[in-house]
Amino acid sequence: MRAETRPRGRNAVDKSLTSAPLGALEEAFHAMVARSRDEPPAGHDERLDRLARLRAVVADNEERFRQAISADFGHRSAVETTIAETMLVFSEIRHATKHLKSWMAPQRVATALQFLPARNRLMPQPLGVVGIIAPWNYPLQLTLAPAIGALAAGNRVLIKPSELTPHFADLLKETVAARFDATELLVTDIENEIAEAFARLPFDHLVFTGSTRVGRIVAEAAGRNLTPVTLELGGKSPAIIDASADLDEAAERIAYGKLLNAGQTCIAPDYVLVPEPALQAFAEKVRAQMRRMFGTDPANKDYSSIISDRHYARLEGLVADAAQRGAKILQPAKADDPNWKAHRKFPPTLIVGATEAMAAMQEEIFGPVLPLLGYRDRTEAIAFINHRDRPLALYWFGKDGAARDEVLARTISGGVTINDCLFHFTQINQPMGGVGASGTGAYHGEWGFRTFSKLKPVFYRSRFNRLADLYPPYGGKIARLEKLMRFMS
């Protein structure tokens, strides 16, 4: 019978975590670590089975997840949950299932001439236990997308959902427990004590999606265990309207990118740089598109609510501060209609002529509020972006290829969509990740598999190789070998 031994070294749990109510969390983590160390890594068929069961969790409860997420938001557009969450999860699982065999295969690596006929290989192996601290804004997709990569790589996964989505968290915990052993995939409770302790567990890899502020706290906690982290953060993602842009087209696409999920999207355009002569005209075009898409009725089922009263009040404060500092506030509907707040829906809002002194330009907005700023030339627009933290996303609109390429070359961001918003995130063959203050690491498709794998270098020595000439006593043979190696280098 296999002996159950407590993990030692970096996987030993901090004793401060063992007091109630954290004992269950510590025991769950310990059980996963023990199984990952004591049992052979999951093979191809077992990983496929786990992915299939995860798909069944979502497919069999799709409507329940829609309702739970809507309950957490106050109202969440069912269509947005389907297209921005459920369908993306299905796509990730389908892609991983299709390519898993090739991802798992050892990779051939070239061998230097002087070591031939030896061979080099990279062997993908699971890291062990992966922790996921999930956000509230897209709770299904942003929880399960990294889990898919971790399971495909053969890991065991422990998930901590957001405290702001309790209905979703309860449902995910129930449905996962019905199909997975607790040492394969487990969803924790969401008490504050667990949230604070989760990042201090010595995971083999930790994923956090959320704000830059909390990301720093998570990274510091993980750093005490030398736990590698993938941080998917946010920041102020800019959109640039080039002088060559079609303003009507850009207005429509920016309105959609900003108002999806009522702006509660980490890669939503956070502000727009517009050529000064076109600023007012562009603002009116965006307002018209917002009205066309979502109307003026707060009861519109296509328009999602703000997650909490606290977040709603924060958005009110950003708009009030901008108005007090001289910005022009444009809204497609009357913002003083009490039905907006009754539905916890914030009216789509444009801050025209925003300045750096305004609070809306100093913090990530994360809501349906969009500052518009005028710029004089491309150099000024690029400098404005580069003098701030690296954004998670950048959007450029225009037809001038040289201008586009200059912006791409001179700015750094997590990802870019040209002449649209958001859609670089949906490209499963591209990595999703930030840079600097907007995050570190990446996942999606094979990128997720590699993030949650150790690509172990293996050197296979050939019996015919002259490596024994390196052994002492050295004498003249080492001089000859050195001469040969210098010649080949």
User: What's the token pair of residue 361?
Assistant: 């330009």
| Distant-in-sequence, close-in-space partners of 193: CB < 8 Å, separation ≥ 6 | 21, 22
Distances 158 to 124, 184, 443, 448 between C-alpha atoms, Å: 21, 8, 17, 16
Verify cis geometry, omega within 30 degrees of 0, for the bond prior to 473: yes
Look up 421 and say whether it is catalytic: no
Q: Quick check: is 232 catalytic?
A: yes
CB 218 within 8 A of CB 374: no
Amino acid at residue number 349: T
DSSP secondary structure letters along 175-227: HHHHHS-TTTEEE----HHHHHHHTTS--SEEEEES-HHHHHHHHHHHHTTT-
CB distance 170 to 188 below 8 Å: no
CB atoms within 10 A of CB 366: 22
Spatial separation of the C-alpha atoms in residues 48 and 35, rounded to whole Å: 19
Of 80, 266, 364, 421, which residue is the catalytic one? 266
Nearest to 282 by CA among 235, 238, 240, 333: 240
User: In the chain, what is the straight-line distance between the N-terminal and C-terminal CA atoms, in Å?
Assistant: 53
Burial class (CB in 10 A: 0-12, 13-18, 19+), 146: buried
Which pair of structure tokens corresponds to residue 308? 């909490």
**By the 8 A CB rule, do 156 and 163 touch?**
no
What is the rounded CA–CA span in Å between residue 444 and residue 440? 14
The CA distance from 43 to 154, in Å, is 7
Q: For residue 231, which of 211, 250, 247 has the smallest C-alpha distance?
A: 211
Query: 473 Cβ partners below 8 Å, 6+ apart?
Result: none
Q: Which helix (H) or strand (E) holds 274?
A: strand 271-275
Q: Which of 80, 92, 184, 232 is catalytic?
A: 232
Beta-sheet strand order (sheet of 453-460)? 107-109, 119-126, 453-460
Could you give the CA distance from residue 58 to residue 291 in angstroms, rounded to a whole number?
33
Catalytic residue positions, numbered: 232, 266
